[in-house]
Amino acid sequence: MNVPQSSPGSRLDNYVDRYAARTAGMTASEVRALFAVASRPEVVSLAGGMPNIDALPLDAVADTVARLVAERGTVALQYGSGQGDETLRGQICDVMRLEGIEAHPDDITVTVGSQQALDLVTRVFIDPGDVILAEAPSYVGALSTFASYQADVVHVAMDEDGLIPEHLENAITAVRAAGKRIKFLYTIPNFHNPMGVCMSAERRARVLEICRRADLLIIEDNPYGLLGFDGEPMRALRADDADGVVYLGSFSKTFAPGLRVGWAVAPHAVREKLVLAAEASVLSPPVFSQMTVSAYLETQPWRSQIKTYREMYRERRDAMLDALRTCMPPGTSWTNPAGGFFVWVTLPEGLDAKAMLPRAVTARVAYVPGTAFYADGFGASSMRLSFCYPTPERIREGVRRLATVISEELEL
Ligand code: PMP
């Protein structure tokens, strides 16, 4: 057989006419291309959304892992159930009760991060050309998944109170009038990625009502729900409609992303399909990771650890908002997140965040241009800034540098 050769760095792709049509939607995200540049130490990266696990007590993790291997190693290192570890599924029910969800362990599918849950849900529901409604803007990783299944994403406007119900109604009517099939609404109601805002309680009720009337499934993606800086967690959409909502959760932000443990809670019939899709994909989610999370939740003060995470992120959020207020030129606006990782900044009229990025990187600061969060090229006047990873001092320095770049752009 004549095997095509390629050398590292070669741009020739001898397989190009053999790929499946769905690969057309698989392009490197702007975030990904940025990581290489933004990881240089002299650059303050406000781009990546990596959780800061400096607050994770590694000795407690080491202790948990050592005991797991010593006491239950032959189970932890074996294949497991496609649906996930039963003990962990019970503990996940306890976690979700904090957001008003009453679930049974059997409703839950454990996944390789909530990213795999997104993949499974999309695989189970989407045929090429099906429409997914998603907030404008929306999570870049979800948009990549939707693109890889050739979904047609229709964005629905949002503001500081989340998805705008009237726009949702109009979008449903318009898409259906055009003869297209909407498979689900994808929403991030808490500490939205990238906008940082929450859907208000009133809007939650309206969105549920509209979707119920329109017979539209909701995918509620909620990795940041427990990372609010003030008060109690907000009530999940799933808490008020167990039949109409698939809820996705994750331990990436409340414990550690490297374990890759997330989950989906779905109506029974959907749950069965998700497990079949998961088994075809990974046989079982990693038992070792699941048992580590489970043992940690059982033996360590996990809830007080979440408080430590919240305090750390709140201090960083404060540093970012303070620096924005002090440094940004008039005409720049931004959201005021009460939790999570992100601030959404909109530039003075006429400026383009994507075009400005190379100059920002030269000035040693990086961000993600708003266009990364839209399937349709919008968002050029905005950018996402993350406050989760850099120290408060670095955040202040990064915002100062960014403000200088924006001011210079205005003078051009
Ligand atoms: N959904 C949203 C909104 C996210 O921000 C992320 C991570 N950045 C994920 C899902 C995926 O997280 P994980 O797979 O680590 O659970």
Tens-digit pLDDT profile for residues 106-154: 999 999 999 999 999 999 999 999 999 999 999 999 999 999 999 999 9
- Tokens 């599924």 sit on residue: 89
- The predicted complex's ipTM stands at 0.99
Testing ligand 1's pocket by substitution, the residue of 29, 139, 254 carrying the most ligand atoms inside 8 A of its CB is 139
Q: Does 339 contact ligand 1 (Cβ within 6 A)?
A: no
In sequence order, what are the residues at sequence separation of 6 or more whose Cβ sits closer than 8 angstroms to the Cβ of residue 319? 387, 392, 393, 395, 396
Can you give the length of the chain in residues?
A: 412
Decide: 84 in ligand 1 pocket, CB within 6 A: no
Q: How many CB atoms are closer than 10 A to CB 311?
A: 12
Answer whether 141 contacts ligand 1 (Cβ < 6 A): yes
**What is the distance in A from the centroid of ligand 1 to the CA of 114?**
6
* Ligand 1 atom at shortest distance from the alpha carbon of 341: 5
Element (H, E) at 302: helix 302-327
CA of 3 to the centre of ligand 1 (A): 38
How far is the C-alpha of 93 from the C-alpha of 266, rounded, in Å? 13
Other CB atoms within 10 Å distance of the CB of residue 98: 14
Is residue 51 in contact with ligand 1, taking CB distance under 6 Å? no
| Beta sheet of 217-221, edge-to-edge order | 108-111, 262-265, 245-250, 217-221, 182-187, 131-136, 152-159, 162-163
Q: Is the CB of 262 under 6 A from ligand 1?
A: yes
Instruction: Ligand 1, residue 250: give the atom nearest the CA.
Output: 16
Residue nearest atom 5 of ligand 1, based on CA coordinates: 193
Measured CA to CA, the distance from residue 228 to residue 307 in angstroms comes to 10
From 339, 327, 341, select the one nearest 399 (Cα to Cα). Answer: 327
Which residues, listed in sequence order, are joined to residue 12 by a DSSP beta bridge? none
- Residue 229 tokens, joined: 């800086």
Rounded to 5 degrees, what are φ and ψ at 130? -65, 150
Q: Does the Cβ of 337 fall within 6 Å of ligand 1?
A: no
- The pLDDT mean for the chain works out to 94
Q: Where are any strands of DSSP class E within 117-192? A: 131-136, 152-159, 162-163, 182-187
Please check the confidence at residue 9 and state whether its pLDDT lies above 70: no
Stated pTM of the model = 0.95
Q: What is the pLDDT of residues 349-408, one digit of tens each?
A: 999 999 999 999 999 999 999 999 999 989 999 999 999 999 999 999 999 999 999 999
CA distance 351 to 353: 7
Averaged pLDDT for residues 78-95 = 97
On whether the CB atoms of residues 62 and 298 are closer than 8 A, the answer is no
* Confidence at 289, pLDDT banded by 50, 70, 90: very high
Q: Which of 322, 340, 341, 337 is nearest to 399 (CA)?
A: 322
